[in-house]
Structure 1
Amino acid sequence: MLRQQLRAISSLLSSITLIGICTGMTSTLLSLRATLEGFGTLTTGIIMSAYFIGYLFGTTRAPKDIRRVGYIRAFGGLTGLAAASILVQAIWVDPVVWFVMRFLTGFAISAIYVIVESWLNTMADNKNRGALLSIYLVLIYGGLVAGQLILGVTDPAEFMAFAIVALLMNLALIPILISVTVEPTTTTPRKVPISSLMKIVPLGIINAFIMQACYSMFYGVGPMYATYIGLSVGQVSFFMASFILGGMLAQAPIGMLSDRVDRRYVLAGCAGSAALIALVLSQLDASIPWLIYLCMGLLGASALPMYSLGMAHTNDFLEKDQMVGATGAILKVGGLGAIFGAPSVAALMQFGAVNYFFLLMTALTSIVCAYSLYRVTKRAKPVEQPQTAFALLTPTPTSEELLTTLAQEPNTLPPNAADDDDTPPTAAG
């Protein structure tokens, strides 16, 4: 059954793999080129944050456009928009132009993920949804790693690197446009207000904000930091790829562990490990690149699963009809964190020591570690229902089903969902 479904969506998976390669190349390419052009860390951080601002707008506007013109035509138009925005950045090397183009790229990529994941959810059933999403995630991470390695053999100062990204983006159009696939239907789930969710599972909200801030720091300013400590373009590619590869390999084992023990302990362990590794990385320089790659792989293995852990922990304490709306709220909070992350670390690097990059990541992950352990003392794990199965999630807004919640009226949560220290253990996490 799974094999038949994979054959049916092979064109879709091929397209998203190429999109992943382009996404992996673009952020590193722009960060390196901004360094060569002398934009400065703060300006670069602001430019890179435009991508995540575009993501937020994509989650509110793109679903409406998709319902209006259909999934296939929307995919084609959005992919073309993303390719054009990349080429414009190669032609006009200007901070203002780059900010606008990064916004458009974020908007387009957000909506593309909406289309792809809606398709996957339509094709899957409860018996194989986890397997399909796991394969999808592996392809995304594999594409991100491949994008870093391809960039390592190009020159970010030349037009060719931008042309390769645009070429691959346009090639991603071919598999999905020539395939015959039934478009997914839309749903209208109810919205869960962020304020209510903060009372129910505060750890989920705080973790989403902090970890998306860390991810945007890494993807937006990480390549610039790597060049500042003396790594070459090829070494920067391995620097970025090691982080992503570590996260890809660790997602499944950590997820299975969190299905067996209290997720808050697993989250605290990952956060504590990430804090220690980031502290070590803040003291390393380009003289021992192999050690940097090793530490980056360990950092990715610790940090990248944290977003999914927080999402699964949140769902553990919700009713089924609240889960979709709650995920939409968490995605919005995570988007705000992503906008905050890159400019913050860039400002610290602009006006202080370069190693503030990893020191800030140490501080942020330490907060998650401490708060996770604190929440263990305030609430027991859910005992009246089994934990929600861990789902491998990319740290980005996902399916259209989630995004349509933004257009719905807020849903009033049950009275027993309020969070205070006297609430029964099953009500909050």
Structure 2
Amino acid sequence: MSARSSFSYYILLGIVVMAGLSQGLLLPLLSILLEQQGVSASVNGMNSAALYIGSFAMTLIAERLVGVVGFKKLLIGGLLMVMIALPLFPLIPSIGIWFVLRLIVGAGDSALNYVAQLWILLVTPAEKRGRNLSLYGMSYGIGFSVGPLGIGLVNYGEYVPFVLLAFLFLLVLIFVIRFLPEYRPEREAQHSRGFARFPRIYRFAWFALIPAFLYGYMEASLNGNFPVYALRTGLSTENIALLLLCTGIGGLILQLPLGMLSDRVGRRPILIMAGICGGLLFALVPMAGTNLWANIALFLAAGGLVGSFYSLGMAYAADILPKGLIPSANVIASFHFSIGSMAGPGIGGYSMQHGSPFLLFWIMGGAYICFGLMGFFFRGETSKNIEKNNV
């Protein structure tokens, strides 16, 4: 990369950090505030899902918006949406208004993630794809892990975490406007046009696209439902922030090693191993009870194994598919992430209210184990095979 390209890359990583930071803070913070107001677990979970309903809506139009306004303008729009919505949360403490604000934040964050990830995928040489996608995943993980630490800022005023986060978005917005160049890649018409490209992508890369769903489900469930689970099982508010941080730290520690290992032994076996082992560890969380150290160990290990699922899945899809199908595969991955993120809080909240709090982790763990087992039946064809089949 040239010096200018490298600077643009680091700006994109900064944008990803902010997207993770906003979601890592808002999901647990708003869930705690609603729980303290006496809102039921199911309603709390559905309100959390609003963030991902907005993300889902943006996913449906992101590819077209990029083609119309370009990468940079869509990034600016996403930053403005989140920055303007954040200070309104403490100003209008209403469940209905918070639902709408979460929709706006979700759409803005989705635009940021989609553009940043696609930009990195398209400009990165194949030989550096694993490294750059790992750094992308680590950047999101850093923001997502640091976010819950902002919960303690409410002790200085309920508005403080929201205003501080909005200010950080403003700083990133200034950098984007001032230093980030416009980017409009040329599409490869033979692969990227027409609805038929989506069945083709699923045909050859369905296993590589499931991790996006599981990552969204896990992220939203932990941040939206775990605070309620923890308070109802005897864990303190401070422990909630610590354990959510541990999940992110585990992902940060293993993100790059797993990415590099997947370059050597293949992404499919790494995804299978991480899915089965991570799922088992999540299923064991209820057995830890209120033992803080046991919970820390489980969250660190499970988070480390599944924390790189999104980036590993996209790297695997990029390995299998021709370059012209990568933008559309990115749309599908974002779509899966949004679906998983919407389903997570709703399923978790309903299972805790009408079943057992432990179902939160048993369902999550079971989903990862099932994914790992499915990997034994997947034989991914490469883009050369696709070309041979005239796809």
Q: Deviations over 1:333-379 (max 9, x none)?
A: 33223222220111001112111111111211121122122x15xx4
Q: What does residue 104 of structure 1 align with?
A: 104
**Does 2:33 correspond to 1:29?**
no
Residues of 2 paired with 1:342 and 1:370: CA distance?
25
Q: What does residue 233 of structure 2 align with?
A: 229
The answer to which of 115-124 and 40-49 deviates more is: 115-124
Q: What does residue 278 of structure 1 align with?
A: 282
Q: Deviations over 1:174-211 (max 9, x none)?
A: 3223x244211144333654444443344234444344
Question: What is the Cα-based RMSD across aligned positions, in Å?
Answer: 3.3
**Does 2:303 correspond to 1:264?**
no
Classify 1:290/1:417 alpha carbon distance in 2 versus 1 (closer, same or farther; 3 Å): farther
Classify 1:156/1:303 alpha carbon distance in 2 versus 1 (closer, same or farther; 3 Å): farther
Runs of 5+ unmatched residues, structure 2: none
Q: Deviations over 1:102-151 (max 9, x none)?
A: 11111111112344446556765556565444444333322222222233
TM-score (norm 2): 0.85
Which residue type is aligned with residue 98 of structure 2? W
Residues of 2 paired with 1:68 and 1:21: CA distance?
28
Residues of 1 paired with 2:67 and 2:324: CA distance?
23
Instruction: Give the number of the structure whose residues are more often helix, by fraction.
Output: 2
Which residue type is aligned with residue 241 of structure 2? S
Runs of 5+ unmatched residues, structure 1: 387-412, 419-429
Q: What does residue 50 of structure 2 align with?
A: 50
Q: What does residue 362 of structure 1 align with?
A: 365
Q: What does residue 94 of structure 2 align with?
A: 94
Q: Deviations over 1:367-415 (max 9, x none)?
A: 1122122x15xx4x659979xxxxxxxxxxxxxxxxxxxxxxxxxx879
Q: What does residue 335 of structure 1 align with?
A: 338
Q: What does residue 161 of structure 1 align with?
A: 161
Q: Secondary structure at the match of 2:288?
A: coil
Report how far residue 267 of structure 1 moved. 1.8
Residues of 1 paired with 2:383 and 2:64: CA distance?
38
Residues of 1 paired with 2:86 and 2:332: CA distance?
30
Report how far residue 305 of structure 1 moved. 2.1
How many residues of Structure 1 are paired with residues of Structure 2 in the alignment?
386
Which residue type is aligned with residue 183 of structure 2? P
Classify 1:122/1:245 alpha carbon distance in 2 versus 1 (closer, same or farther; 3 Å): same
Do 1:43 and 1:95's aligned partners in 2 also have CA atoms closer than 8 Å? no
Classify 1:351/1:155 alpha carbon distance in 2 versus 1 (closer, same or farther; 3 Å): farther
Q: What does residue 289 of structure 1 align with?
A: 292
Q: What does residue 404 of structure 1 align with?
A: none
Which residue type is aligned with residue 184 of structure 2? T
Residues of 1 paired with 2:373 and 2:294: CA distance?
28
Q: How does 1:285-324 map to 2 (within 5 A)?
A: 285-286=289-290, 288-324=291-327
Residues of 2 paired with 1:384 and 1:343: CA distance?
37
Which residue type is aligned with residue 184 of structure 1? Y
Q: Deviations over 1:246-288 (max 9, x none)?
A: 11211221222222334333222111111221122122223x2
Q: What does residue 427 of structure 1 align with?
A: none
Q: Secondary structure at the match of 1:259?
A: helix
